[in-house]
Amino acid sequence: MLLVLSFNQPKFCPVVSWEANGTTVANDTMIGLSTIGMFIDTDNAIYVNDQETNSVQIWYERKTEPMIIKPENLNASKGIFVTNDGDIYLDNGELTGRVDKCSKSSNSSVPVMYVNGSCFGLFVDRDKNLYCSLRDQHRIVKRSLCCDSNTSTTTVAGNGANGSAPNMLNQPSGIFVDIKLNLYVADYGNNRIQLFEYGELSGRTLVDGSLLNGPTDIKVDADGNLFIVDQGNHRIVRFGSNGLYCIIGCSGANGAESDQFNLPFALAFDTYGDIFVLDGDNRRIQKFRLARNACVTYNRPKFCPNATWNVDGITVFDQSLIGNHARGIFVDSNDTLYAVAQDRSQILTLFKNSTNLLSPTNFLLANYTGIIVSIEGEIYLENGTESGRIVQWAKNTNTSVSVAYFPGNCFGLFIDQSNSLYCSMKEKNRVVKMSLNGKMSKIVNVAGTGTSGSGLEQFSGPWGIFVDNNFTLYVADSGNNRIQRFQLGENIGATIAGNGTPNDLMLNNPTDIILDLDGNLFIAGNDNSRIIRVIHDAYHCVVGCNRNSTSPSEKLNKSYAVRFDSRGNLFVADECNHRIQKFTLATNSCDSTTTEAPTTQVVTEALTIQVTTEAPTSQEITTAEAAETTTKASTTLATTIQSTTAAATTTTTTTTTASTSSTTSSNTSERDSTATSIICNTSNSSCDLLKPCQNDGTCRNTQTGNDCYVCLCSRGFNGTHCEFDHRPCKPYTCLNNGTCKETSDSLFVCTCLSGWQGVHCEFMVNFCDNFTCLNNGTCRSSLSNYTCCSPPSVRLAMAPNSLELPIKARRNDEFYISAYIELFCMNSIEAVSQWAITNCTTNCSSSISLNRPIITTLSEIHIPAKKLEYGIYEVKLTVSSVNIPIVTASAVGYIEIIPTGIMANLVSNGTSMITHDPQQYLTLDPGRFSEDPDEKEFNSIVSPCK
């Protein structure tokens, strides 16, 4: 059974880290001055309960304005939790002592738990139990949401008394319940984190007061590591098998800088592993991005522009091992090679510097399955028994479990650093993903419309995929002969290779794409049988480039997939040659001091691989692997560079030799408004060949034979290739169409459009700050002005009535109820109305359930005949503004549905009024021939008139 969680529970690697400086995603003008409740769902929507306006704000991803709902009678709400079916549970204990449930589509709410206090933490576990952290009562209670009739609560932690014993709590705050129903409590007053295992009332201290100071919130990741809001120390800490260490706000001092907190209260994760912190006394929500390249298993080496690979490949797996279909391969960060032997129903595994070849238990594989290995060594691939079924093979075992069911075959698989699994469905023309954290089964479309096409939002057979550290997706769009790039959150791609990009590059059925550390592309051009490298605005072939070669080791026949090892060697799945080839890195020198190109001697040595299968048999294969020895002439060069900074001018002398790889780069004085960086190439590359200078830098050759070049950088850029942007004004410096002006080399001023303010024009001007609307009106700020709205006037067109004296209507009569609505706003706004009918025969507590809909308009409701049963009903009309939901008014009326009465209809039903002779009696039987309009058929037996 797959459990779908409503919150994000990421999986991190042991060396994970987050950026120290956060970004403010909401400030006090957005969320108010006293918000302490926050929740983030699996769609990355942020929920906060604003205590000032007694409303819930929902900030959807990439939206600049929140959706606002205002549940009835909500007051000073603290805890908040959202389930995967969209139900919002809110603390409402300040005045009513209860927890309420509401939805995104309505301002109405219903009580679901009575606790006689405020819940500083709320949680719904896997079994639909609702937990409440009663800080002032020093205990945690829960009730089941599966039984509407039983609203009683059960104490699961704390005995109601303030204390530090294992069965006691002192002002508990945030809570978390894991999949095993273990309860974690941020025991604020005891400065500790307590774990209450399922069914136990005595807790176990995980982190004690020697490390914490007033913890207020607790989250648990997919591996059971704790993330704690250490409020009194103004920081976020992580606790796991390696102990406790600080991850954000680690100075220990409170403050309002981007790397500081002031009494933080809550935290939450998004799907990417970023951390959001509700920074209490700074009245803001801060976002801290997951540090990039923190948790990847694949290799992304760094190459110089002139790097080359030996053209003769080494056969690692031949047809006797790989079978007739050499397709899926993967090389992990330990240089372990994995290859899919589809014909043999095996995964071949070759460890670094090992001759032992391992293969797991036989199992059926999909024909074109990709393969990816996680940070824990788990192998993911598509099982051949069912389309789109992805299985996970645990490390060092022969057991597998199904982890995903995608709606189509996966021709490419990838796991990003947030532990999301991507699948490229070639036949469905889509790329989808699913988080592997917490057994979540929600599938999200990332790119593609599902229909074949050549538009930027479409695919024609997406194949290999790659996701970089910024969650940018790269797709080998095989049928369109191109590589597409999709930025995070965008569904319109950009063509970055193929169809003439760059410099007339034409691809033919590309099936794989990987990136090196600098973001340069390596493309497996399947039908061209070669590997292409795209660097800057140029490209060149690196493997399989000589089609006329007579050497079998130099040629490829449909290059299907390509991977790096940690040394930069290339592994290629040579599909129609039925083998896996290794091409060793030949030259990768970036030395600025080499005066002679290296000469390479190739020495052949025998490499023997011992192959071990499940059967007690073995075989040996012998291949020739090229080992290289390189000799270089060494010289020494002294370089003197003068650099000017705001503080002082310094002179640095750097001495390098050919045996040391170094690149010298510095900011220079503004004398020529340029920065100069020098690099000497050992291969005969030139400015025209490489086009190495970025950001409008000018490339100049500095030595005869074009062995050296210099990049003259534009003002504000420096680096070897002018790749570093130090301009104060960047495209994203001033937000919301603000204009950036540089006042010095390091300072800027943003001129904001009307309605925006802030250093970066990031805040909307609140015109309501200094204005109060009359007659209890509500002020709403817009980009250029404000709007005052008083609650509308709503009257029902009914005679004065009440619950005790309702208007009477016969059940067989249809009737209409009209309303008079007046809107009082300085500007016209759109209004929405909602009619509600409640059965008040007993206690007016439940809305009625109708088997047919009732037709309504903005100001009228139509009740058809026989629609309502006998009884008293409350009819309520609520009118609110679409743009200002808190501006609302309502009117009610009461109707009693009464019997229509029996209608005699003798003649029309065939009753004879004529006797045949004087002795015959005239019998009138109205019961038999009359009708009861309230029923389908009149029951003559009970007629009092028969």
C-alpha distances out from residue 96 to 57, 445, 520, Å: 21, 43, 61
Higher pLDDT, 174 or 84: 174
Question: By percentage, how much of the chain surpasses pLDDT 90?
Answer: 44
Cα atoms in the Cβ-side hemisphere of radius 13 Å centred on 138:
15
Is 50 exceeded by the pLDDT of residue 340?
yes
Q: Tell me which of 911 and 204 has the higher pLDDT.
A: 204
The pLDDT score that the predictor gives to residue 472 is 94
Answer whether residue 217 shows pLDDT above 70. yes
**Strands, E assignment, 443-507:** 443-447, 462-467, 473-477, 482-486, 494-497
User: What is the rounded average pLDDT of the residues 484-505?
Assistant: 94
What's the Rg (C-alpha) of the chain?
Answer: 36
pLDDT at site 882: 59
Higher pLDDT, 789 or 304: 304
Residues 692, 710: Cα–Cα separation, whole Å: 9
Q: Is 598 a residue whose pLDDT tops 50?
A: no
The model's confidence at residue 101, banded by pLDDT at 50, 70 and 90, is very high
435 phi, psi to nearest 5 deg: -70, 140
Has residue 929 got a pLDDT over 60? no
Pick the more confident residue, 644 or 847. 847
Among 242-256, 269-283, 478-492, 618-632, name the one with the lowest average pLDDT: 618-632
Q: What is the pLDDT of residues 732-744, one digit of tens each?
A: 678 778 899 888 7
pLDDT at 850 over 90: no
Provide mean pLDDT across the span 63-90: 92
Instruction: Give residue 232's pLDDT.
Output: 94
Helix, strand or coil for residue 928? helix
Q: What is the pLDDT of residue 3?
A: 61
Q: Taking all residues of the chain, what is their mean pLDDT, rounded to a whole number?
A: 80
**Assigned CATH class of 308-587+599-631:** mainly beta
The 3-state DSSP class for residue 239 equals strand
Q: What is residue 935's predicted lDDT score, i.e. its pLDDT?
A: 63
CATH number of 23-288: 2.120.10.30, 3.40.50.2000, 3.40.50.1950, 1.10.10.10? 2.120.10.30
* Predicted confidence band of residue 627 (pLDDT cuts 50, 70, 90): very low
- How many residues can be counted in the chain? 946
Determine the Cα–Cα distance for residues 122 and 119; give it in Å rounded to an integer: 7
Token output for 171 = 């002002």
pLDDT, position 781:
67
Residue 671 CB coordination number (10 Å): 8
DSSP 326-392: EEEEEE-TT--EEEEETTTTEEEEE-TT--EEE------B-TT--EEE-TT--EEEEBTTSTTEEEE
pLDDT tens per residue across span 270-304: 988 999 999 999 999 999 998 755 568 899 999 98
For the record, the structure tokens of 660 come out as 């040391």
Report, as an integer, the average pLDDT of 713-740.
Answer: 80
Where is pLDDT greater, at 328 or 682? 328
Neighbours of 806 (CB within 10 A): 21
- Identity of residue 176: F
User: Of the ranges 181-195, 425-439, 876-890, which is most confident?
Assistant: 181-195
Residue 610 banded pLDDT, cuts 50, 70, 90? very low
Q: Is residue 438 within 8 Å of residue 3, measured between CB atoms?
A: yes
Beta bridge pairs of residue 201: none
The pLDDT, as a whole number, for residue 284 is 95
- Per-residue pLDDT, averaged over 90-99, amounts to 92
**pLDDT-derived band of residue 784, with 50, 70 and 90 as boundaries?**
low
Average pLDDT over residues 346-351: 90
Q: What residue ranges of the chain are covered by domains with CATH 2.60.40.10? A: 778-898
Report pLDDT for 646: 34
Residue 138 contacts residue 158 (beta carbons within 8 Å): yes
Banded pLDDT at 589 (limits 50, 70, 90): low
Identify whether 111 is preceded by a cis peptide bond (ω within 30 of 0): no
User: pLDDT at position 922, please?
Assistant: 56
pLDDT tens track for 895-913: 999 988 765 554 444 444 5
Mean per-residue pLDDT for 405-434?
Answer: 93
Angle at the Cα of 251 from the Cα atoms of 248 and 257, rounded to 5 degrees: 75
Q: What percentage of the chain reaches a pLDDT higher than 70?
A: 77
User: Which of 63-72, 250-259, 313-322, 909-918 has the lowest average pLDDT?
Assistant: 909-918
Closest CA to 418 of 404, 396, 398, 433: 433
In the block, residue with structure tokens 């609560």: 153
Report the pLDDT averaged over residues 172-187: 97
pLDDT band at 124 (very low <50, low <70, confident <90, very high): very high
Question: pLDDT band at 767, cuts 50/70/90?
Answer: confident
Strands, E, within 529-669: which ranges? Answer: 530-535, 538-543, 559-564, 570-574, 579-583, 585-587, 599-612, 618-631, 636-644, 649-657
What average pLDDT score do residues 350-355 get? Answer: 81
Of residues 133 and 626, which shows the higher confidence score? 133
| Per-residue pLDDT, 678 | 40
DSSP 8-state secondary structure symbol assigned to residue 446: E
Higher pLDDT, 914 or 572: 572
Q: What is the pLDDT of residue 939?
A: 52
Taking only the tens place, the pLDDT of each residue in 554-586 is 999 999 999 999 999 999 999 999 999 999 998
886 contact partners, CB below 8 Å, separation of at least 6:
53, 55, 68, 70, 778, 880
The pLDDT of residue 64: 84
* pLDDT the model gives residue 856: 58
Please tell me the predicted confidence (pLDDT) of residue 734. 82
pLDDT score at 632: 35
Q: Are strands 756-757 and 763-764 parallel, antiparallel or unpaired?
A: antiparallel
Count the Cβ atoms, other than its own, within 10 Å of residue 909. 12
Nearest C-alpha neighbor of 763 from the set 424, 283, 182: 283
Kindly state the average pLDDT of the residues 701-723: 72
Question: In a 10 Å sphere around its CB, with 0-12 CB exposed, 13-18 middle and 19+ buried, how is residue 460 labelled?
Answer: middle
Q: Range with the lowest mean pLDDT among 356-370, 484-498, 635-649, 894-908?
A: 635-649
Q: What is the mean pLDDT of residues 8-37?
A: 87
Q: Are 346 and 360 in contact (CB under 8 A)?
A: yes
Amino acid (one-letter) located at 681:
N
pLDDT at 866 over 80: yes
Domain 778-898: give its CATH architecture.
Sandwich (2.60)
The per-residue pLDDT for range 872-890, each reduced to its tens digit, is 999 988 887 655 656 678 8
* Cα torsion 6, 11, 17, 19: sign: negative
Domain boundaries for CATH 2.120.10.30 within the chain: 23-288, 308-587+599-631
Angle at 559 between CA 557 and CA 565, to 5 degrees: 130
